[in-house]
Amino acid sequence: MFSTKNHHIIPSQFYCHQECSNTMILSYFFDSISSLWLQLNNVDYEITVVLFTVSLLVLAGAWTAWISKNTPPLPPGPRGLPLVGNLPFLDPELHKCFQTLAQAYGPIVRLQLGTKVGVVISSPAAAREVLRDNDATFANRDVPELAMDAVAKGHSDIVFSPHGPGWQMLRKVCVREVLGTATLESVYGLRRREIRNTVRYLHSQVGSPVNVGEHMFLTALNAITSMLWGVTMKEEERTRIGVDFRVAVAEAMELLGKPNLSDFFPGLAWFDLQGLKKQMMGLVGRFNKIFDAITDRGLGLDGGKESRDFLQVLLQLKNEGDAKTPLTMTQLKVLFMDMVLGGTETTSNAIEFAMAEMMNKPEILKKAQQELDTVVGKDSIVEESHINKLPYLNAILKEVLRLHPVLPLMVPHCPSQTCIIGGYTIPKGARVFINIWAIHRDPLIWENPAEFHPERFLDGKLGFRGGDFSYFPFGSGRRMCAGIAMAERMFLFSLASILHSFEWKLPEGEELDLSEKFGIVLKKRVPLVAIPTPRLSNPALYD
């Protein structure tokens, strides 16, 4: 438990009274100067100028001292070294490192990250001030150099675009048109095909160890790319492009996860000392070739509503879009990248953690399978329509995202102006981390926070929409994740299918490891390897 002594949270609204006082005092200073000028009007000119100048300097000094005295301080934090600040002292497991700092300095901690000021938020109250009370101020992102130059294409994607008309258009396209209920329902067959392919493959590996995370990553990638262009591309062509795409995605995720000096010392970006930008730009060229091949196929198609994929939806929106904020081909390509990068490792890692936690507590695994047997039956297969009838499986999803949130520090926010949070000054342009990993494990909020206990969510009070700042795995406010609906469907449908179809056990002599490895996306440090055994009544159900 961290100490809150001398680190009280003071609502930012308190400071509106200070701003009024500032205005009154400034007016008083100018009135004083005017009065002094009138009194000296008949004195010798040179003496008047000297006295006026001295008076102005004295008043300006007093004003500066008063402002300094009455401006809230920067948040507390550890001392750093010249030039590099706190960078040398940060543990690679940043989510745990930041939690330790919060225990020492309070729920709002300041760090000097090279030339950047970093601020770590680790309490529901402070998170509420940032993401709800001052949502507009914190609506921009602190964009990593590689993402700015490559993935975000100069801020043309939904994740890193600055808040404004362009971002609002992209958000609307994603939430209402592409990832809305109607479109997701229309591509259910494509999603189902890939999950059934995974079940079929796992059945062929019965009795042999399989890497669960690796196969769930391939399932998520194949399902998402199938939804993106599964109708547009023929099977053979889709498979060939999928292989190239899979390799490029893996390389991009590896690059984005590497520490980049340019993020902490922007002046070094031009030199590309680590060669990361060069590598990323090479990947961009490969992605462009893949996307050009895909979009070229889609330009001449006019699929009906029942047979369209995301590509055809986006191309139609591009052609019929708002003239003021048109959807460009560059934005279309980068939206594809957002969906793939944002929906593959996040989904597969969450499923892998869920499987590991359930195998560590066999009674939970058994309870989830009993629910599936009741709702689906052993003589049938899971369909996506079943998932709303599986409250325990839904509770498992929520508990996994509490204990192992896919983005432990979220995407950093960046205030567009200096503001007051929790009684501290947060400077404009700071890199603001929201440590939801620490909030989700706070013993002041959660009973036995380190324990995997899905029952805590069976009452249905907490959801994914970010309204409660003790639990918000997908973020909150206007920049919360746009793909919640698709993520929820992919996780539940995939996990239900492999739980219902197979029993799972560890290889002989192996021990279960639940430790985490920090990154942009949280993952298991040791991959889960398990052996599947069929549990359905009819072998034909695996075909």
Give binding residues for heme as ranges: 481
Name the CA dihedral angle for 345, 350, 355, 358, rounded to a multiple of 10 degrees.
170
Q: Which two tokens stand for residue 279?
A: 């590598």
Q: H or E element: which one contains 421?
A: strand 419-421
Q: Looking at residue 300, what DSSP letter applies?
A: T
Q: How far apart are CA 147 and CA 325, in angstroms?
A: 22
Bridge partners of 529, per DSSP, are: 211
The DSSP line for 336-356 is HHHHHHHHSHHHHHHHHHHHH
Nearest CA to 98 among 81, 117, 118? Answer: 118
* Pair of tokens at residue 65: 């001292």
Radius of gyration for the chain, computed over Cα atoms and rounded to the nearest angstrom: 28
DSSP letters along 52-111, please?
HHHHHHHHHHHHHHHHHHHSPPPPP----BTTTBTGGG--SSHHHHHHHHHHHH-SEEEE
Measured CA to CA, the distance from residue 457 to residue 470 in angstroms comes to 13
Q: Given its phi and psi angles, is residue 355 left (phi above 0), alpha (psi -120 to 50 degrees) or beta?
A: alpha
Structure tokens at 209: 């160890």
DSSP assignment, residue 507? P
Query: Could you give the count of Cα atoms lying within 13 Å of 19 in the half-sphere of its Cβ?
Result: 7
Q: Which token pair is 390? A: 């599986």
**How many angstroms separate the Cα of 137 from the Cα of each of 167, 174, 189, 433, 485?**
15, 23, 41, 15, 27
Q: Are strands 529-534 and 502-505 parallel, antiparallel or unpaired?
A: antiparallel
Half-sphere exposure of 304 (CA within 13 A, CB side): 1
Chain mean position to CA 22: 39
Q: For residue 175, give the DSSP letter.
A: I
The binding site consists of 481
Spell out the alpha helix ranges (H) of 187-309.
188-204, 212-229, 235-256, 261-264, 276-298
Half-sphere exposure of 449 (CA within 13 A, CB side): 15
> Could you tell me the CA-to-CA distances from 423 to 15, 74, 75, 101 in Å, in that order?
9, 9, 8, 18
Q: Could you give the CA distance from residue 245 to residue 291 in angstroms, rounded to a whole number?
A: 9
